């Protein structure tokens, strides 16, 4: 029996607009004990991702909201510290949806073993995890970039966008990334091999994007919405594909935006340009998980794919890091080293 306590961060109240510190509460509760067929995981790495903002609201979505008083949802990498399950030994590392807490009991369903010798365990939450697979499946199943086409992605220094651009390059397309600030833009072109980078904080996003896409846009991987989408729309080529996996710019919106109403204009563009707009979440392509991990791991080994992590130390700093994530303050995949 351990006498340690389990620290966890629960949803104290639902954010109205931007999350604020009072929406989160750090609690200490007894460490749960694994029953028959269960293991106790100690969280080592916690993933922070924009989708969590959606779970904090009770609006209808593809997943149920986090209950008030419950730990915030998150995927984690944890170490088995006690096991009553024949498949999992103490000391092994497992992915799990443990949420924002130190300890978690699971029967291993939905978990996957992580081999720390093959790749740093935190990559199971990033380039080799859900964000990487989001980029891979959305780009290849819906975006389907062809040789010589132009692929645009926003939040391009983040874990999804950076892989979208790099896979686009591997498939022979021109990759254009949109990111916030000159440092991230330099990273895209100088370290990741993007053909062009556009700073969305610059004075003229539509003009800069048009200059970066002289042949128009064939694939726009949508993960932010807002002003970026508005700049993209007039540049879309006939038969352009728009996989939609996120709309982070709107996650904090509290009311229907003022007019004019741009919906009819979008539908007109869909018709006249034969656009293909399709929403997805990574689990829609769950059967491609093995292929994804194998192929991307190979590209990392070959040096064709690079990734970057933004590591925050300590569970107690997760709320502040998450609030910054929604403002684009992270640089690379945001993970919390919990213990």
Interface with a second copy (CB under 8 A)? 54, 60-62, 222, 225-226, 229, 238, 244-247, 250, 253, 256-281, 284
Q: Angle at CA 291, nearest 5°, toward 290 and 296?
A: 105
Place of tokens 């009072």: 22
DSSP-derived letter for residue 244 is E
Q: Please say which residue, 81 or 277, places its beta carbon nearer to a second copy.
A: 277
Question: In angstroms, what is the minimal distance from the CB of 272 to a second copy?
Answer: 4
Least distance between a second copy and beta carbon 274 (Å): 5
Q: Which is nearer to a second copy, 167 or 281 (CB)?
A: 281
- CB 281 to a second copy: min, Å: 7
User: In a 3-state reduction of DSSP, which class is residue 105?
Assistant: strand
Structure tokens at 274: 């034969």
CA angle 84–337–9, rounded 5-degree value: 75
Using the minimum distance from each CB to a second copy, give the nearer residue, 163 or 245: 245
Residue closer to a second copy by CB (options 257, 303) is: 257
> Closest separation between CB of residue 182 and a second copy, Å?
29
Tell the smallest beta-carbon distance from residue 216 to a second copy (Å).
12
Encode burial over 57-81: b for 16+ CB neighbours within 10 A, e otherwise.
Answer: eeeeeeeebbeeeebbbbbbbbbbb
Given the complex with a second copy, which of 14 and 276 has the nearer CB atom? Answer: 276
What's the closest the beta carbon of residue 131 comes to a second copy, in angstroms? 16
d(CA 229, CA 282): 21
d(CA 246, CA 227): 14
Q: Of the two residues 9 and 248, which places its CB atom closer to a second copy in the complex?
A: 248
d(CA 128, CA 252) in angstroms, rounded, equals: 28
CB atoms within 10 A of CB 269: 17
């Amino acid at each position: 029996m351990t006498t340690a306590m389990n620290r966890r961060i629960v949803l104290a109240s639902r954010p109205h607009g931007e999350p604020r510190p009072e929406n989160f509460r750090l609690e200490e509760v007894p460490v749960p004990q694994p029953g028959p067929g269960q293991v106790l995981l100690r969280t080592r790495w916690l993933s922070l991702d924009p989708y969590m903002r959606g779970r904090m609201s009770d609006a209808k979505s593809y997943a149920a909201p986090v209950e008030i008083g419950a730990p915030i949802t998150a995927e984690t990498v944890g170490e088995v510290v006690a096991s009553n399950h024949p498949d999992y030994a103490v000391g092994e590392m497992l992915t799990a949806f443990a949420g924002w807490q130190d300890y978690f009991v699971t029967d291993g369903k939905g978990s996957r073993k992580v081999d720390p010798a093959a790749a740093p365990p935190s990559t199971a939450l990033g380039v080799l995890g859900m964000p990487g697979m989001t980029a891979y499946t959305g780009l290849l199943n819906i975006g389907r970039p062809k040789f010589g086409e132009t692929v645009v992605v926003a939040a391009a220094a983040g874990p999804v966008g950076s892989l979208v651009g790099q896979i686009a390059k591997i498939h022979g397309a021109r990759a254009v990334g949109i990111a916030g600030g000159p440092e991230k833009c330099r990273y895209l072109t100088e370290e990741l091999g993007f053909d062009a980078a556009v700073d969305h904080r610059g004075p003229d996003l539509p003009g800069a994007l048009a200059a970066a896409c002289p042949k128009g846009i064939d694939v726009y991987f949508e993960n932010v919405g807002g002003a970026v989408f508005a700049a993209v729309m007039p540049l879309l080529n006939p038969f352009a594909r728009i996989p939609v996996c996120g709309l982070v710019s709107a996650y904090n919106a509290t009311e229907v935006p003022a007019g004019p109403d741009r919906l009819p204009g979008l539908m007109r563009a869909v018709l006249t340009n034969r656009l293909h707009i399709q929403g997805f979440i990574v689990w829609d392509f769950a059967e491609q998980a093995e292929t994804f991990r194998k192929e991307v791991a190979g590209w990392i080994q070959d040096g064709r794919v690079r990734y970057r992590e933004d590591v925050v130390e300590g569970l107690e700093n997760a709320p502040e890091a998450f609030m910054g994530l929604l403002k684009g303050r992270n640089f690379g995949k945001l993970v919390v080293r919990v213990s």
